[in-house]
Amino acid sequence: MTKLLAIGMDPDSCRYALAAAERFEGTVYAAVGRHPNSSARFTDSDAEDLAVLSRDPRCRAIGETGFDFYRSTVSREDQARAFAAQITIARDTGKPLVIHTRDADDATIDTLTRDGQGVTVILHCFSMAARLDECLDQGWLVSYAGNVTYPKSQAIASTAARVPLDRLLVETDAPYLTPQVVRKERNQPANVVHTAGFVADLRGIAYDKLEAAVDANAARLFGW
């Protein structure tokens, strides 16, 4: 672990992520966004606040944003408003857009296909196994979290062998989605090695090759 992208999900955590990036300059960077589950009553003022934060040089990505129709209490209209604003911010800043989607495959893909042209898209914690080919056709990047290692995630795991190496990322989503081999523990960024090792094995390549590719992809995306 030499670099870390701290994810902002609401006004407070965005500022916390930027403060961490300032404190640990050159090691920690920030993504600022409004998670769909934190997008209730999203306004133009909220969008402007995010736009201001996005211009901080320590901010290297926009999001998480997207749709969550699983058990979110936030209306789909509010989620869509926040999503649209962050697509615009990503386009204006030239920074990649980190996507959260849960039980919302159609809405997410339709929105990005319609409105996200010209934006670099990262599908965080990839879960749309049946839609992989569509995602790849759009040029989006695919990121795998610890849940890819779970026995019940065979459909998602099968996609990890098919993503082009130059569009593949691994992540922790800490403190959640702890990889299977340490699943009883609270997740932490260092556990990304377990996810990376699992994906390397799936692809039938050496860990060092997977690691070098992921490092290069992250450096290109986040400018570090």
pTM (global) more than 0.85 = yes
All structural domains of the chain with their residue ranges:
61-222
Q: How confident is the model over 103-144, as pLDDT tens digits?
A: 999 999 999 999 999 999 999 999 999 999 999 999 999 999
63: helix, strand or coil: strand
Which residues have a Cβ under 8 Å from the Cβ of 172 and sit 6 or more positions away?
Answer: 145, 146, 187, 188, 189, 191, 192, 195
Q: How confident is the model over 169-189, as pLDDT tens digits?
A: 999 999 999 999 999 999 999
Query: Does the structure show a pLDDT above 90 at 1?
Result: no
The CATH classification of domain 61-222, taken from the options 3.40.50.280, 3.40.50.720, 3.30.1280.10, 3.20.20.140: 3.20.20.140
- CA angle, residues 87, 53, 69, in degrees to nearest 5: 45
Specify whether the CB–CB gap between 9 and 64 falls below 8 A. yes
209: its two tokens = 């090759």
pLDDT at 207: 98
37: helix, strand or coil: helix
Query: Does the structure show a pLDDT above 90 at 72?
Result: no
